[in-house]
Amino acid sequence: MKAFSTLLLLPLFVVALLLTGCDSTVTGEGETTTVTLFLQPVFDGAPLSSDLSTVYDLNGTAISFTSARMYISEIELVKADGSTVPFETEPITVPAKDANDNDITHTVTDKIVLVKHDLGTHKYVLGDVESGEYTGVRYKVGIAGTTNRVDASQVPANHPLAKQTDRNNHWSWSAGYQFVRVDGLVDSDSDGTPDEVWETHLGTANFLTDVESSLDFDLTDEEAVDVHIMLDYKSLMQDVDLSDPDQRLCHTADNLPVANKVGSRISSSLMLHGVHESTGSGH
Amino acid sequence: MRHHLYKSIALILVILFAGCEILGPDSDPGEENLISVPEGFAPIPIPTHNPVTPAKVELGERLFFDPVLSRDGTVSCASCHFPEVAFADPRTLSVGVDGKTGLRNSPTLVNIAYQKLFFWDGGALTLENQIFGPLQDPNEMDADLNEILQRLNDDASYVEGFSAAFDDVPTLQTLTQAIAAFERTIRSGGSRYDEYINGDASALSAQEIRGLDLFNGKAGCNTCHSGFLLASDTFENNGLEFANSDSGRARITQDPNDFAKFKVPSLRNVVMTGPFMHDGRLASLEAVLDHYNAGGTGSRGQNPVIVPLGLTDDEKNDIIAFLGALSDESIMIGLEQ
């Protein structure tokens, strides 16, 4: 019986495959555009090196980076008519807690990006959008609402919300994900060599940041484009004085003054540079 | 050794039963037994994404007792949650790698599956995710997650265990599921207090019954310690002097109304789980009763129900005797039922 039904299903499967094949050739021809987020790390306008020993000057203090990470979510392109186009990915359904701490399951379809500049990765394929005229890009830095209350331990390993094994992207407690994680070494004895740890880990709803950039771009006849955004780490950290030991460690709630200094800079340290024909593959 | 013998027998029985099972893959013969509870207890809540199965529990138990999960291979979960004292720690502060200590006392893990939030401040949302707390805390196991996954993947017997339990290799998801599944099987076996509640009037002595009446009456302990766990799902400030800048629940919620509130702990097996309070500051139940009888210390945020009680020495002893009757006859763990 089983074998029989499998046999019956086989031709159907082949037909389905053929159909999906046709589908993508039709829509591929100029009607949709593959959009890649190209998030370029810079420090004071110059490229940030993925060589972790590179020393930078932050307002007269020598610093280096070991982590340069950021969560970007709810990315949308704004169309000329004012409507928005979100990006979605393979849904995951995971355990979470609601606002009253009751156990629920939560489905995430949003195309979330965990930017790992410390690993030198800059490009993230977002998905396909319809051709047409667009007027801007919107996204959030951070993870909003119930998605920030999922059980990270239960997210499949290849998803950006999964607990990362190389360094923390999630507090093991209810604060959820670390929206911005930058840390490294700072010169504590003014000899020009960074020698002491600094850490800025920003999270919680208070620091969820909406970013919106206006720019007219036309996606007619474009097969693939890069949405090129520059993240300037100097600009992000410019209000923090890392020569002051009290400003070196910030895990949000334990150092709100520093968290506020960095949080208020998020939006202005992200600059939409342009939407260009794609220069290479992301991941 | 006895311990292991029983375990092996139990395991063989489970395997035999599993072998006989003909109902299909969905019904797990072991599961019901692994999470059965005494009369009067609520059923153990099990998340649908992580059902309790014998293979998972066996694996989780091994992981719980294995120091391989700590940075230097010296500390296991059981180093701070001792099975012989209801999975609590007789030391004021538990000791992690390099002899380091944190700020809080290890709570019992018995009946942990009933908890809604974890840690004294409720900071961890699920039992699975809670595990990253001790694993990564530099004062506890200080593990590098990549490294411990590597160690488990390099150990053929672990690879086999994960495969049997999950049909998968060791990952953070399977690791945390296995330990949490084991933890959910750590539960009470019923106490003399339960027998009394269930109708056996002779189960408690006259002194213990006087203590029970005071607990629910003059002393008002049941305002916070109630239900079959003698706990509550809430966070309260019971009037301890503020210490170690530990603002408890407020650390998590950032709400000044939660200042120095801590989870109301279950009083089951309390004679075994000392020293008491979130930082183990009170060494004995006598000291606990003195604290409440004095009406707390009048600290910032003290709950107004904590007032001087006017208990006599005899009355304090009656309550302590009653607390002794909350010890479970046995504690059910893992596959040893």
Assigned token pair, B229: 């766990």
Looking at residues A208-228, what average pLDDT do you find?
Answer: 95
Q: Locate the domains of chain A by residue range.
A: 47-277
- pLDDT over 90 (residue B126): yes
Residues B290-324 pLDDT 10s: 999 999 999 999 999 999 999 999 999 999 999 99
DSSP B215-246: HHTTT-GGGTSBTTTTB-SSEE---PPP-TT-
- pLDDT over 70 (residue B280): yes
**What angle, 0 to 180 degrees and rounded to 10, lies between the N-to-C axes of helices B285-293 and B313-324?**
130
Query: Looking at residue A31, what is its pLDDT?
Result: 86
**CA-CA distances (angstroms) from residue B277 to A5, B240, B255, B259?**
63, 9, 22, 16
**How far B228 CA sits from the closest chain A CA (Å)?**
20
Give the span between the Cα atoms of B117 and B101, in whole angstroms: 23
Give the span between the Cα atoms of A255 and A244, in whole angstroms: 13
**For the complex shown, is ipTM > 0.90?**
no
Looking at residues A221-231, what average pLDDT do you find?
Answer: 94
Q: Closest chain A residue to B255 measured between Cα atoms?
A: A253
Give the span between the Cα atoms of B239 and B277, in whole angstroms: 11
What's phi and psi for A192, nearest 5 deg? 85, -5
What's phi and psi for A35, nearest 5 deg? -105, 130
**How far A206 CA sits from the closest chain B CA (Å)?**
11
Assigned token pair, B240: 């301890």
Q: For A172, which of B133, B171, B254 is closest by C-beta distance?
A: B133
Q: Closest chain B residue to A99 measured between Cα atoms?
A: B125
- Cross-chain Cβ contact B146/A166 below 8 Å: yes
Residues contacting B316, CB < 8 A, separation 6+? B286, B289, B290, B293
Restricting to B residues 24-53, those with a Cβ less than 8 Å away from any Cβ of A are: 45, 47-50
Residues contacting B12, CB < 8 A, separation 6+? none
How high does pLDDT run on average in chain A? 89
Residues contacting A112, CB < 8 A, separation 6+? A71, A72, A73, A89, A143, A147, A160, A161
Assigned token pair, A192: 């020009």
**How far A171 CA sits from the closest chain B CA (Å)?**
9
Residues contacting B85, CB < 8 A, separation 6+? B108, B272, B273
Query: Looking at residue B189, what is its pLDDT?
Result: 83
Looking at residues A205-212, what average pLDDT do you find?
Answer: 97
- Cross-chain Cβ contact A173/B136 below 8 Å: no
- pLDDT over 80 (residue B144): yes
Q: Closest chain A residue to B172 measured between Cα atoms?
A: A153
Give the span between the Cα atoms of B160 and B165, in whole angstroms: 9
Assigned token pair, B170: 């060791």
- Cross-chain Cβ contact A172/B129 below 8 Å: yes
Assigned token pair, B302: 């003290």
B172 Cβ under 8 Å from any chain A Cβ: yes
Ranges of H-type helices in chain B: 2-20, 29-34, 54-64, 127-130, 132-136, 145-154, 156-166, 172-184, 192-197, 206-216, 249-253, 285-293, 313-324
Rg value, chain B, Cα: 21
Looking at residues B146-163, what average pLDDT do you find?
Answer: 98
Instruction: Give the model's confidence band at B18: pLDDT under 50 very low, under 70 low, under 90 confident, else very high.
Output: very low
Residues of B in contact with A164 (CB under 8 A): 145
| H/E stretch holding B255 | none
- Cross-chain Cβ contact B146/A101 below 8 Å: no
Query: Looking at residue B254, what is its pLDDT?
Result: 87
- pLDDT over 50 (residue B24): no
DSSP chain A: -HHHHHHHHHHHHHHHHHHHHHHHHHHHTTTEEEEEEEEEEEETTEEPPS-TT--EEETTEEEEEEEEEEEEEEEEEEETTS-EEE-EEEEEEEEEE-TTS-EEEEEEEE--EEEEGGGT--EEEEEEEESSEEEEEEEEES--GGGGGB-GGGS-TTSTTSPPSSS-SB-SSTT-BEEEEEEEEE-SSSSSS--EEEEEEEESGGG-EEEEEEEEEE-TT-SEEEEEEEEEHHHHHTT--TTSGGGSEE-SGGGHHHHHHHHTTTGGGEEEEEEEE--S---
Assigned token pair, B188: 């009470």
- Cross-chain Cβ contact B49/A94 below 8 Å: yes
Residues of A in contact with B124 (CB under 8 A): 172-174
Looking at residues A103-111, what average pLDDT do you find?
Answer: 97
Instruction: Give the model's confidence band at A283: pLDDT under 50 very low, under 70 low, under 90 confident, else very high.
Output: low
Looking at residues A85-109, what average pLDDT do you find?
Answer: 96
Looking at residues A255-274, what average pLDDT do you find?
Answer: 97
- Cross-chain Cβ contact A174/B119 below 8 Å: no
- Cross-chain Cβ contact A172/B45 below 8 Å: no
What percent of chain B stands above pLDDT 90? 83
- Cross-chain Cβ contact B173/A154 below 8 Å: yes
Looking at residues B135-156, what average pLDDT do you find?
Answer: 96
Half-sphere exposure of A114 (CA within 13 A, CB side): 18
- pLDDT over 90 (residue A29): no
- pLDDT over 80 (residue A185): yes
Q: Closest chain B residue to A151 measured between Cα atoms?
A: B129
Instruction: Give the model's confidence band at A281: pLDDT under 50 very low, under 70 low, under 90 confident, else very high.
Output: low
Give the pairing of strands A196-203 and A249-250: parallel
A153 Cβ under 8 Å from any chain B Cβ: yes
Q: Are A155 and A66 in contact (CB under 8 A)?
A: no
- Range in A18-27, A72-81, A97-106 the model is least confident about: A18-27
Looking at residues B154-168, what average pLDDT do you find?
Answer: 98
Looking at residues B170-179, what average pLDDT do you find?
Answer: 98
Give the span between the Cα atoms of B207 and B110, in whole angstroms: 26
Nearest to B144 by CA among B172, B123, B169, B163: B172
B256 Cβ under 8 Å from any chain A Cβ: no
A101 Cβ under 8 Å from any chain B Cβ: yes
Instruction: Give the model's confidence band at B237: pLDDT under 50 very low, under 70 low, under 90 confident, else very high.
Output: very high
- pLDDT over 70 (residue B337): no
Select from A149, A171, A172 the residue whose CB has the most chain B CBs within 10 Å, as the one to mutate to test that interface.
A172
Give the span between the Cα atoms of B69 and B151, in whole angstroms: 9
pTM of the model: 0.89
- Range in A16-30, A150-164, A202-216 the model is least confident about: A16-30
- pLDDT over 80 (residue B26): no
Assigned token pair, B312: 């006599």
Give the span between the Cα atoms of A38 and A123, in whole angstroms: 5
Assigned token pair, B66: 């294995």
Looking at residues A119-142, what average pLDDT do you find?
Answer: 95
Select from B50, B129, B150 the residue whose CB has the most chain A CBs within 10 Å, as the one to mutate to test that interface.
B129
DSSP B260-296: TBEE----TTGGGS-SBSTT--B-SHHHHHHHHHTT-
